A and B are shown apart, each in its own frame.
Chain A
Amino acid sequence: MAANGMNATGLLRDEWMERMRLFGLSSPALLLVLAILVIPVGWLFYVSFVGADGTFSMENYERMIRRKSYARIFRTTFEVSLLTTGLCIIIGYPLAYFISQLPARLANLCMITVLLPFWTSLLVRTYAWLVLLQKRGLVNDWAITLGLWEEPLKIVHNMTGTLIGMVHIMLPFLILPVYGAMKAIDRDYLKAAANLGAGPTRAFWTVFFPLSMPGLIAGSLMVFVLCLGFFVTPAVLGGGKVILVSMKIVSNIELFVNWGAASALGVVLLALTVITLWIASRFLRLEQMTGGGR
């Protein structure tokens, strides 16, 4: 027993040493995170309380309450982000499922096609949509020639165009983690379910779908958070009518004489994002996505 006790302390000491070593190894990364994340965010927070005259002031926040446009812009931002995430799930999940069922070689080919847009600049893809969707664009031209519709449809310079563009750009961010989670699911579970009398639909919903949830949650959150700060695509495809927080930040920097007016928007967006994620974490088990939560 005494030997065991000594062994245990030895093990504990080893474990502690190991942890310290790991900490030592990761400290440059931690410092980097501190330098490039914590300091700028802190500065952002500080600057948002500096008024036009350079002293402490709440004017940047007061303005956001006084002017109705700010609340509307935040609402549009969350609306666009939610809709984009929803559409990405509706399109991306079945696609990922389909690819995950394919034989390896075909699946790889499909994944390359999914990833291909990543190799093209965001700006190019956005303008490509503009060319496709505009009044005399390819989509309207072909549809009218084919007799699908008579008058050109308004599918760009509005919410529709913004969503089309954003879903296209965000889709890989959803498909990748979902596909990863699906590939990791042991097919034997489904066979076991079938063996126990579950039909394919029931086996999918009670066995496969819950097991793919971590990937789906990770992908959806990634898409949602990326959408919240999106600039280029809504600016080009929204026709100046879909105004998101990022666009307001830019115009406030140009318009007002201090950085505070723009910083305050950033702070509010950050706070709202954190609150949203916190609420989401109450309903979804977020720790799943990091593989933790033992």
Chain B
Amino acid sequence: MKILMTATLAAGFMATTALADGSVTIASWGGSYQEAQSKALFEPAESATGIEVKQETYGGMSDVRLQVSSGQVTLDIVASGSGSAARAAAEGLLESLDYDVIDVSTFYPGLYTEHCVGGDVFSTVYAWNTDTYGDDGPQSWQDFFDVEKFPGTRAYRGKVPGALEGAMMADGVAPEDVYTALDSEEGIERAIGKIRELKPHISVFWTSGAQHAQLMKDGEVDMTTGWNGRFDNAKKDGANVKYSFNQALLDYDCFAIPKGAPNKDTAMKFLAEISKAEYQDDLPKYITYGPTNKAAYETGVITAEQAAALPSSPQNSEKQVPVSLEWYAKWETIAAEMYDEMLTE
């Protein structure tokens, strides 16, 4: 086994030297998301740096786990949700990023970690049906959980990510204290208890972005939590839906380098390039996700109108709670089991 490992490592090392440092293999989620990344980030950066980019799609961090544990790493950069990147990092699947190479001085604080640098920002918001509540729907999590002030059916996430923070704020915890309050099993139980109270009014526990968009489009529920971009798309398709950024959860997708990536140094240089404001400011043209680099708003490419709709625009981001990856790395598995107990009651 050990000999085999050494052999693969040696083979990997030889492959690295053979390829020199002229190319990187990037894996992302495919679809319109990767298309946006490709047009705004990868292709322009390829021509600017001369680093050849090979794009792939992948199935998430479980693919990286398989590659790293078998010693056959082929990916240099992976796009990932911030939470799963944090878990992968805790598992030792990711390289540390070199922030002497990648300049994050103008990044929003909390949108980069030791192992993962933010690529785009999205929000977990509460959205409402404008047929039911008009334009003045719920303006806080307290409103979302208040079935007397806002009678009607709800949908809520069927998993822990983005589910407990809102409940905690609804229970009276200040936005800035949410993660401190959640930092124990009692705290988690408190948030789950709040959701348990609302449960008779929750018709659906959603499991995907497509699902919560459809729930609003078909008027199946009057209110739901979900990802802002999906509601924008649903609105474009004619849904009567509106959402607020107030107390929303600011989350991000990020780029990471798998442990033992064949072109680690080139990947680092490439990440430095696509993290620059001049690339990130193009992203909103292709998808309604905001840049992680604050300076991208100052290049003049993002119009004021566009910015007002983006989760990471200065006026929107200050109303929100940044998602704490440390909390997810520490508590997600425990919280998930507790959450399932509430769901199956």
Q: Does B46 contact A (CB under 8 A)?
A: no
Q: In the complex, which residues of chain A have a beta carbon less than 8 angstroms from the beta carbon of B336?
A: 251, 255
Interface residue tally on A, bucketed by range: 20 to 34
User: Of A137, A235, A253, A255, which one neighbours B207 at CB under 8 angstroms?
Assistant: A235
Residue pair A157, B204 in contact (C-beta under 8 Å): yes
Which residues does chain B contribute within 8 Å of A256, judged by CB atoms? 333
Instruction: Say yes or no: is A76 at the interface (Cβ < 8 Å to chain B).
Output: yes
Q: Which of A73, A136, A253 lies in contact with B62, CB distance below 8 A?
A: A253
In the complex the two chains form, what is the Cα distance from A136 to B221 in whole Å?
10
Residue among A72, A239, A248 having the largest count of chain B Cβ atoms under 10 Å: A239
The answer to whether A135 and B343 have CB atoms under 8 Å apart is no
Say whether B218 faces chain A, with CB atoms less than 8 Å apart. yes
- A240 interface residue (CB < 8 Å to B): yes
Q: Assess whether A240 is in contact with B343, with CB atoms less than 8 Å apart.
A: yes
**CB of B319 within 8 Å of the partner chain:** no
Q: For the complex, is B201 an interface residue (Cβ under 8 Å from A)?
A: no
| A-B pairs under 8 A by CB, number | 58
Complex Cα gap A49–B206 (Å):
32
B205 and A67: CB pair below 8 A?
Answer: no
Chain A residues lying within 8 Å of B204, measured Cβ to Cβ, are 157, 239-240
Greatest chain A CB density within 10 A among B220, B337, B344 is at B344
Q: Is the CB of B332 closer than 8 A to any CB of chain A? A: yes
**Residue contact A251 to B159, C-beta cutoff 8 Å:** yes
Are B344's CB and A72's CB within 8 A? yes
A257–B65 touching, CB < 8 Å: yes
Q: Is the CB of B203 within 8 A of A67?
A: no
Residues A68 and B341 in contact, CB atoms below 8 Å apart: yes
Q: Is the CB of A135 within 8 A of B340?
A: no
Taken together as a complex, chains A and B put the C-alpha atoms of A255 and B340 apart, in Å, by 12
What is the CB-to-nearest-CB distance from B238 to chain A, in angstroms, rounded to a whole number? Answer: 14
Residue A13 at the chain B interface, CB threshold 8 Å: no
Least Cβ–Cβ distance between A122 and chain B, in angstroms: 17
Given contacts A134-B218, A157-B203, contact A69 B337 (CB under 8 A): yes
Q: Is B305 an interface residue (CB 8 A)?
A: no
Known contacts: A136-B220, A235-B207. The answer to whether A257 contacts B340 by CB under 8 A is: no
Closest to A54 in B: B69
Is B87 close to A, CB under 8 A?
yes
The chain B residue sitting closest to A157, CB to CB, is B204
Is B175 at the interface (CB under 8 A from chain A)? no
Which chain A residue lies CB-closest to B336? A255
Chain A CB within 8 A of B197 CB:
no
- Per-residue A-contact encoding for B197-229, CB less than 8 Å = 1, 0 else: 000000111110000000000111000000000
Q: In the bound complex, how far is the Cα of B337 from the Cα of A255, in angstroms? A: 10
Bound-complex Cα distance A239 to B65 (A):
31
A67: nearest chain-B partner, CB-CB: B337
| Given known A67-B337, A69-B337, A248-B340, contact A240–B206 (CB-CB < 8 A) | yes
Distance in Å: Cβ of A109 to nearest Cβ of chain B: 35
Q: A76-B344, A154-B203, A255-B333 are in contact. Are A136 and B219 (CB under 8 A)?
A: yes
Cα distance A30–B218 in the bound complex, in angstroms: 51
Q: Is A227 an interface residue (CB 8 A)?
A: no
Is A67 a contact of B340 with CB atoms below 8 Å? yes
Query: Is A202 engaged at the interface, CB distance under 8 Å to the other chain?
Result: no
CB proximity of B59 to chain A, nearest CB, Å = 11
Contact B159 A136 (CB under 8 A): no
Contact indicator A73/B344 (Cβ below 8 Å): yes
CA distance A154 to B220 in the complex (A): 10
Which residues of chain A have C-beta atoms less than 8 A from B205's C-beta?
239-241
Q: Is the CB of B333 within 8 A of A67?
A: no
Residues of A within 8 A of B337 (CB): 63, 67, 69
Across the two chains, which residue of chain A brings its CB closest to B88? A257
* Given A136-B219, A241-B205, A255-B332: A69 and B344 interface contact (C-beta under 8 Å): yes
Compute how far the CA of A38 lies from the CA of B35 in the bound complex, rounded to whole angstroms: 43
Asked whether A135 and B220 contact (CB < 8 A) given A157-B203, A240-B207, A253-B62, the answer is yes
B158 / chain A contacts, CB cutoff of 8 Å: 240
Q: Which residues of B contact A76 (CB under 8 A)?
A: 344
Q: What separation, in Å, do the CA atoms of A125 and B159 have in the docked complex?
A: 26
Is A135 in contact with B333, judged by CB distance below 8 angstroms? no
B151 to chain A, nearest CB (A): 14
Q: Which of A76, A137, A255, A256 has the most CB of B within 10 A?
A: A255
**A243 proximal to B (CB < 8 A):** yes
List of B residues within 8 angstroms of A67 by Cβ: 337, 340-341
Across the two chains, which residue of chain B brings its CB closest to A247?
A: B207
**B186 contact set on A, CB distance < 8 A:** none
Note all chain A residues with C-beta closer than 8 A to B237: none
Please name the 8 residue pairs, one residue from A and one from B, whose CB atoms are nearest each other, closest first.
Answer: A240-B205, A240-B158, A72-B344, A69-B340, A239-B204, A69-B341, A69-B344, A157-B204
17 contacts between A and B (CB under 8 A): A67-B341, A69-B337, A69-B341, A69-B343, A69-B344, A72-B344, A73-B340, A154-B203, A239-B203, A240-B158, A240-B343, A241-B343, A243-B340, A248-B340, A256-B333, A257-B87, A257-B91
Known: A240-B206, A243-B343, A255-B336. 12 other contacts (CB 8 A): A67-B341, A72-B341, A76-B344, A154-B203, A157-B220, A239-B203, A240-B205, A243-B344, A248-B340, A253-B62, A255-B333, A257-B65
